[in-house]
Amino acid sequence: MDEILEILAGDARISASEIAKMTGKSLDSVKRAIQKYEKNGTILKYKTVINHDMIPGNGSLVRALIEVSVAPQKDVGFDYVAERVYSFPEVKSCYLVSGTYDLLLVVEGDNIHTVANFVASKLSPMENVRGTTTHFLLKKYKEDGQILKKQPSLKRLNISY
């Protein structure tokens, strides 16, 4: 991957002048490269990784990974079904994967019931969806390469028999 992209992937707030110093490139060439990446769709957006567990009163947000088995459509494969699935606002990410299931979804809801309702009333009844398996996320340790919260080391007593 390009040096500039690697730096921006690690910290999207870093300035073009800082990137120029780090890479030894001119400020103008760094700015041109960034503009080119933004224009051609290599850089889609700049993102902040938020540890939602640290926000008071935000404990009810529920995330789930949903495996979806799909019957592919003739001439369009999985794309048609994937487009219909990822258009739902509950779906935050949608991936075509190898293995037992075809699509892997990251779904968010206000509580466990909204995610369950999404699966039962929107996803499962869709034409070409053969089956789903839902995994609710219980705790996040690392996201987008960021460790969310260092766990305190536990002092455990030695047990001898």
Helix (H, G, I), strand (E, B) or coil at 94: strand
Per-residue confidence band for 150, with pLDDT thresholds at 50, 70 and 90: low
Candidates 34, 45, 41; CA nearest to 2 is 34
Report the distance separating Cα 124 and Cα 51, nearest Å: 30
Report the distance separating Cα 6 and Cα 157, nearest Å: 44
Q: Mean of the pLDDT values across residues 131-157?
A: 81
Q: Mean of the pLDDT values across residues 72-92?
A: 93
Report pLDDT digits (tens) over 17-41: 999 999 999 999 999 999 999 999 9
pLDDT at 43 over 90: yes
Percent of the chain with pLDDT over 90: 67
Domains of the chain listed by start with CATH number: 3-40 (no CATH), 61-139 (3.30.70.920)
Candidates 156, 127, 151; CA nearest to 139 is 151
Report pLDDT digits (tens) over 107-138: 999 999 999 999 999 999 999 999 999 999 99
User: What's the confidence (pLDDT) of residue 154?
Assistant: 65
pLDDT at 76 over 90: no
